[in-house]
Amino acid sequence: MAPGIVDPPQTAPTSDFAKASVGPKEAFIGGPQVFNKTAEEQGTEKQPPATHPKYLPVWDADTIYPPLEPFTHYEHGKDADPMSPELFHEATSVTELTPSTGSEVRGIQLSALTKQGKDQLALFTAQRKVVVFRDQDLADLPIREALDFGSYFGRLHIHPTSGAPKGYPEVHLVHRGADDNTAMGLLKSRTNTVTWHSDVTYENQPPGTSFLYVLDTPTAGGDTLFSNQAEAYNRLSPEFQKRLHGLRALHSGHEQAQNSKSRGSIVRREPVTSVHPVIRTHPATGEKAIYVNPQFTRHIVGYKQEESDFLLKFLYDHIALGQDFQARVKWAPRTVVVWDNRVTAHSATLDWANGQRRHLARITPQAERPTETSFEAHPEKGSELTENLVNGKNGVAT
Ligand SMILES: O=C(O)CCC(=O)C(=O)O
Ligand SMILES: [Fe+2]
């Protein structure tokens, strides 16, 4: 995209907003505020202390990680029984957030899932795109156990610029404490705080099944928005779909690293770029999905600047406007949200201003290098899958 749009919003997706909110060395880019209180100190003022202090972020400037090595990802969703018996046998309710996108599950404990249950979780998440689990114990487990749980789904990603709980670099933290003026800073130059993205798509093997769990949340606000990128693909005309197939886009982590540096914060690994297909295929469902996002995608390979900008702008607008293929997740204590980063985009909303703490932890298993399969004239497969689930064909009372 055009130079100039890569600034503050680009730092948002991986919660650079949030991490700017604590720690003496942090100040949000574009905002005048300098945060010179620790998260614990903030707790003594406008808001109670963090309920999970072991999850407060630290920025380890001394540890530099080497480039990520390629690895072979095993997609557990492929092994899953599509009826999901082990995942749902204790479920008390499974409801849809919207018909196409998102489900909410009650009554099961993710940390107690068997291997088969985890396989089914991977598949169900790929099918529904985002799944909200209430009353979970993940945040109360030792952090190592939470990471062990997540590592079943893929090699755990270490974020290059985010704060992490001391000793657990694989946890990516979203934290906004009292006196955090991030949203105000952002709104000086933007009309809203929405920053659609899929996580770290600049990596060669970006994340797949991803976990975000809440530690503290404001009483209202701070919802997370999800867009169903497979349904976004299905909505396009076959002719337009055909045009997108075969295209590849450049994704870059350089701007995020630069933003971090310019705030005086850390870069734990040298930034990279990757070229990925614009339309990728999910390895377990076979669904095709649009795989570009305004935070990390820079350019359509082989296109001239204006051509690339034009096409990407259309795709970004299509994703943002598609409220009929999106879902909005409301956080509540003990909520874990699982999404498939290969077939979704998401955005935080920074819409509360009462100083209440918002604190979440992300566990981010990496997946396969994105691949494309060729255009098919009848791409309704994904909708059929969704219909089966909506109609209870996964064996669960809804
Ligand atoms: O804060 C949120 O709701 C989402 C943050 C985010 O983009 C992420 O953790 O990947
Ligand atoms: Fe994100």
Residue nearest to atom 10 of ligand 1 (CA): 14
Condensed to tens digits (0 to 9), the pLDDT of residues 328-387 reads 999 999 999 999 999 999 999 999 999 999 999 999 999 999 999 999 986 555 455 444
Q: Whose CA is nearest to atom 2 of ligand 1?
A: 348
Q: What integer is the mean pLDDT of 62-73?
A: 96
Please state, in angstroms and rounded to a whole number, the distance separating the CA atoms of residues 231 and 325.
Answer: 6
Write down the pTM of the prediction. 0.87
Burial class (CB in 10 A: 0-12, 13-18, 19+), 229: buried
- Residues 130/104, Cβ–Cβ less than 8 Å: no
Residue 323's alpha-carbon distances to 97, 124, 277, 336, 343, in angstroms, are 12, 22, 24, 23, 16
Burial class (CB in 10 A: 0-12, 13-18, 19+), 245: middle
Q: Which atom of ligand 1 is nearest to 199's Cα? A: 10
pLDDT for the residue numbered 24 = 24
Q: Is the ipTM of this complex over 0.90?
A: yes
The 10s digit of each residue's pLDDT in 249-281 is 999 999 999 999 999 999 999 999 999 999 999
45 has pLDDT over 60: no
Q: Which atom of ligand 1 is nearest to the CA of 18?
A: 1
Binding-site residues, ligand 1, Cβ < 6 A? 13-15, 174, 199, 212, 224, 346, 348, 360, 362
Q: Is the pLDDT of residue 84 over 50?
A: yes
300-309 long-range CB contacts below 8 Å, 24 or more apart?
Answer: 300/247, 300/248, 300/249, 300/250, 301/247, 301/248, 301/249, 301/250, 301/275, 302/248, 305/2, 308/1, 309/1, 309/2
Nearest ligand 1 atom to the CA of 331 is 3
| CA 13 to ligand 1 center in whole angstroms | 6
The closest alpha carbon to 205, from 372, 369, 371, 14, belongs to: 369
